[in-house]
A = this chain, B = another copy of it.
Amino acid sequence: MSKQASSRENAVVRVEPGALRATVERIFEAAGVPQEDARVGADVLVKADLMGVESHGVSNMLERYVERYKSGVMNPRPQWRITRETPGTATVDADRGLGIMVVPKAMEIAIAKAKQVGTGMVTVGNCRHLGMAVYHAMLALEHDMIGVCMSSVRPTVLPSLGSRVRLGTNPIAVAAPAGEEPPFVFDAATSVVPDNKIDIIRRLGGDIFPGWIGDERGTPVMEPGPAPPRDGYQLLPLGGIPQTGAHKGYGLACVVDILCGGLSGSGYGAVRSADTVAHFVGAYNIEAFLDAAQFKGMMDEWLRALKATPPAPGHERVLVAGQMEWEAEQDRRANGIPLHRDVIGWFRDTCAGMGIPFTLAPPP
């Protein structure tokens, strides 16, 4: 282990998920969020940490959320409402509420409609960040439904052949239940890499990989090198360069913009205000199409076949979507969620500043 890695390892403390969830809930409440919303928001953040998706967990998101409640960009007590509705669809105005709390309600609406008419599709406009998109898709699983969630976020991604960002990292998330196997849980930005991948390399060192970013003029950077400054690059769409299908990632990001920004009436990432985010959730009731038991049996057979694929040279095994996150969750439920001491320190200071109890294990 390198000296740097060893020092990073020592800086990490494992905390109990329930204690972390309770602390996050109290912080949300102190920021003005009603108790039930605070509970849901804490669950979304801690679930990301349980699944090893730190980019969308407490350490990366909570401080920003608290700041935005303070600045007034986000409304802690949104009067969200349905502006249009049919038996299978709804359009929600989130009243500048945080997506991690409003989107689970949108998904509940979608699930209820899917029970009635087979599928439910709900758009959420005038909203803020939704956290880990697949959290919302996964809410469908316990109802024997397939869940979908997409989010149209502020532009950081180049269109294929372009020199200016026009699309967000616009993630697509899909969760589908299996029988005995863990569920299929897919969640991917439609850019080659997410924004924070470049930030992490800038902070911790290492090289960016050819085909991740374009330079200030939009020319793809095809040599490895250090991470450029924040204003010195633009993300490339999935596919990377025109020869390897950049138009496909670009088109998929557009589809997300259309379903989220377009169908919610919030407008597209490239034309609306930077703070506004729009979302789309959908639920497919499996029993509406075929027997759920038959579907889940097929899922088991298929997921096992994929995992049994002989790996290519240099790789140990073939994974399925959600498998690494599922394995991380088993570990973290048993052994706690690893947080950097600095994050523990932020929690301690924030709790003190807000006058609320701090119950996370302090760094020894």
Chain A interface (Cβ < 8 Å from any Cβ of B): 83-84, 86-89, 91, 116-119, 121, 123, 146, 158-164, 166, 172, 174, 176, 184, 186, 188-190, 192-193, 209, 211-212, 214, 217-219, 238-240, 243-245, 247-252, 254-255, 257-259, 261-265, 267-268, 270-271, 284-286, 288-290, 294-295, 298-299, 301-302, 305-306, 309-315, 317-321
Contact = CB atoms under 8 A, between A and B. Distances in A.
Given A86-B118, A161-B311, A192-B244, A267 B212 contact: no
Contact of A118 (B121, B290, B314): B121
A295 B265 CA distance: 7
A328 to B, nearest CB: 15
B244 A240 contact: yes
Nearest to A83: B290
B188 A247 contact: yes
Contact of A174 (B88, B219, B258, B295): B258
So how many copies of this chain end up in the complex?
Answer: 2
A259 B87 CA distance: 22
Nearest to A270: B305
A169 to B, nearest CB: 12
Contacts of A262: 176, 295, 298-299, 302
A290 B239 CA distance: 33
A251 B146 contact: no
B84 A288 contact: yes
A298 B267 contact: yes
A238 B249 contact: yes
A13 B148 CA distance: 47
A286 B263 contact: yes
A271 B186 contact: no
Given A265-B298, A270-B306, 17 more contacts: A86-B285, A87-B117, A88-B88, A89-B117, A89-B119, A123-B289, A146-B258, A159-B306, A163-B312, A188-B251, A212-B244, A217-B313, A219-B314, A238-B248, A254-B306, A262-B298, A271-B301
B161 A305 contact: no
Contacts of A209: 243-244
B240 A305 contact: no
Contact of A254 (B87, B123, B248, B320): B320
A314 B88 CA distance: 47
> Which 5 A-B pairs give the minimum distances between C-beta atoms?
A218-B312, A89-B118, A86-B118, A88-B117, A88-B118
Name the residue in A186, A258, A262, A315 with the highest tally of chain B Cβ atoms < 10 Å from its Cβ: A262
A146 B254 CA distance: 13
A77 to B, nearest CB: 25
Contacts of A321: 247, 250-251, 254
